[in-house]
Amino acid sequence: MASSSSINSICLSLDDQSSKTLTTTTLSSFFAKPYSPRLLKRRRSQSFHVSCNANEHDQNINANIDRRNVLLGLGGLYSASNLAPLAFASPIPPPDLKSCSKATKTGSKDLVEYSCCPPTPKDLNNIPYYNLPPMSKLRKRPVAQDVTKEYIAKYQLATKRMKELDKDDPRSFMQQANIHCAYCNGAYKFGDEVLQVHQSWLFFPFHRWYLYFYERILGKLIDDPTFALPYWNWDHPKGMRLPPMFDRETTSLYDARRNPHVRNGTIIDFSSPRDEVTTDVGQTVTNNLTLMYRSMITNAACPLQFFGARYVLGNNDSKGQGTIENIPHTPVHIWAGTVRKTDLGGGKLSLGEDMGNFYSAALDPVFYCHHANVDRMWKVWKGLGGKRRDITDTDWLNSEFFFYDENKNPYRVRVRDCLDTKKMGYDYAPAAIPWVNCRPTRKGREGKVDLTNIEPANKVFPIVNLNKPISFSINRPTTSRSQKDKDEKEEVLIFKGLKYDTNKYIRFDVFLNEDEDVNTDELDKVEFAGSYVNLPHVHARNKKMDSDEMFQLDITELLEDIELEDDDTITVTVVPKTGGDVISIQSVAIELLDG
């Protein structure tokens, strides 16, 4: 495996290990200091392009005027029967608790055996907005791998007490897990629309508020307002294993339904989370860091690339995951969930429980530790500079959710109120982000693919199923772009009309300037553009085969690295890894996007 002097030392270290193994000592030596945003500014010319316009879809509407107030009537939560005439292209409201119903298991036609709906507040018409309380000391979320025995004991006690609460207590562990089930598996509906917080710009703010209240409940149960959730920093080599505190049987943090392959310090493979690691550990870690770089930098220069597609009430015909929700968020879920169709006892076959299925994911205590790092990625991403900032569209800022606080009081919360973690009373203990320096420089092939026998995209698509690798040529809208043009517009490869069985785990990889014989075991090369991953879910349209999903990959940086900037036509190769037989793609295009 070739190394490059221009890749940061962590990538070199992984490449040059003769034994291809990583010891604890080796891992602990990597990046003892946290990242510096100034480092990124110095490396901007060689690393990434971040200038793009803000996503200001609705700036003519005063941010202080919430259009949903037209729908609220007497000020209570929405009534689904009253939404249809007025709700077109409105911010997502809090769920209609009166119409909450049974959730559907993903990967099955069966309903969840129990209700995921929350306890109904006494006065549905007067649920107040939540005001962030004053705080005297920030709760500091620690790195899960570095916590002390005293912290672990406190965390175990808090979780134990939460599990001992009455099942009807909104603070109980089961009720907290049900929050994810209700919001993600079809329990909440607005007329014919199913509320789904994944695969859209709601993904980050929903989970931030979710963890906020969960963390405060834990602190309340042990009378410690300073208690903070740990974060599982899977973006660092030291953290690419299950945090040991979650693998101690008989403790409140253990989940017997996890896949056994996560035990004993096994390294997670973001590219093949369902399987045992087959490549050497060094290559696996390198691949993981490359995927982090692509998700946080290459493919996330603009807000909607990072957060996910617009999602508004009454107009949800298209959707799309943000880069981090795609990878590594989904692979971590899949990795920790059971192997599907495993016998769980009593004649029940696994659907990926717990972490591997939306309805049950939060039944595993590690879910919250996992999502703490997802939330941290939001904060880190904004710190990278450029146009990496929060969305300014009022439809996003005014979207709402419903939660109970640590005192069992019901509240409505808004996206606009969760943009600053310090104002919410918490922050993250610093940790290194080695992936920031892992921009691939190694080429997988010499020269350019011969286009003579490569079919153009318009003759390849649409495809009914992606059951084998496909290569196609595609024309670019312009060539030899100036740096000013690159700063203003990102060149993006877009897969349109993506359809697949949402009940299935899906993954495919995309490469530029490679043919169908590309080696997909090594992702740390300039030709690798990114991967698409699906965690089985119920979509807002409640269809088994979703339509009009777009998958976008920013290729501005890749074209520079592969030296294709002056080419009118380039080669793209798509390699199915899992579930290709249930994927269809309508068309593919390259477009210049400004936000």
> Which of 31, 48, 204, 358 does the annotation list as catalytic?
358
In this structure, is the dihedral angle defined by the CA atoms of residues 242, 248, 249 and 254, taken in order, positive or negative?
Answer: negative
For 460, list phi and psi in degrees, rounded to 5. -90, -40
Q: Strand pairing partners for 593?
A: 490
307 is annotated as an active-site residue: no
> Which of 180, 236, 370, 539 does the annotation list as catalytic?
180
> Which of 49, 57, 198, 370 does the annotation list as catalytic?
198
Rg from Cα positions in the chain: 23
Tell me: is residue 180 an annotated ligand-binding position.
Answer: yes
Element (H, E) at 267: none
Closest by Cα among 3, 37, 32 to 388: 37
207 is annotated as an active-site residue: yes
370 is annotated as an active-site residue: no
Write the burial class of residue 390 (CB in 10 Å: 0-12 exposed, 13-18 middle, 19+ buried). Answer: buried
Three-state secondary structure call for residue 281: helix
Tell me the C-alpha distance between 548 and 593, whole Å: 18
Report the first-to-last Cα separation within the chain, whole angstroms. Answer: 37
Tell me: is residue 371 an annotated ligand-binding position.
Answer: yes
> Which of 49, 57, 236, 329 does the annotation list as catalytic?
329
Closest by Cα among 185, 104, 179, 111 to 358: 185
> Which of 333, 370, 537, 539 does the annotation list as catalytic?
333
Tell me: is residue 333 an annotated ligand-binding position.
Answer: yes
Tell me the C-alpha distance between 578 and 454, whole Å: 24
> Which of 49, 236, 371, 537 does the annotation list as catalytic?
371
Per-residue CA distances from 512 to 402, 433, 453, 485, 588 (Å): 44, 26, 16, 22, 14
**Which residues make Cβ contacts (< 8 Å) with residue 421, sequence separation at least 6?**
208, 375, 379, 427, 428
Let me know: does 93 contact 400? Beta carbons within 8 Å.
yes
Write the burial class of residue 331 (CB in 10 Å: 0-12 exposed, 13-18 middle, 19+ buried). Answer: buried
Tell me: is residue 537 an annotated ligand-binding position.
Answer: no
The residue type at 23: T
236 is annotated as an active-site residue: no
Q: DSSP of 134-172, one letter per residue?
A: P-SS-EEEPBGGG--HHHHHHHHHHHHHHHHS-TTSTTS
401 is annotated as an active-site residue: no
Cα 192 to its chain centre, rounded Å, is 26
Tell me the C-alpha distance between 159 and 177, whole Å: 12
Let me know: does 139 contact 227? Beta carbons within 8 Å.
yes
> Which of 207, 236, 370, 539 does the annotation list as catalytic?
207
**Which residues make Cβ contacts (< 8 Å) with residue 163, sequence separation at least 6?**
172, 173, 252
Tell me the C-alpha distance between 557 and 486, whole Å: 10
Cα 39 to its chain centre, rounded Å, is 25
- Binding residue positions: 180, 198, 207, 329, 333, 371
Query: Looking at the annotation, which residues are catalytic?
Result: 180, 198, 207, 329, 333, 358, 371
Give the annotated binding-site residues for Cu cation.
180, 198, 207, 329, 333, 371
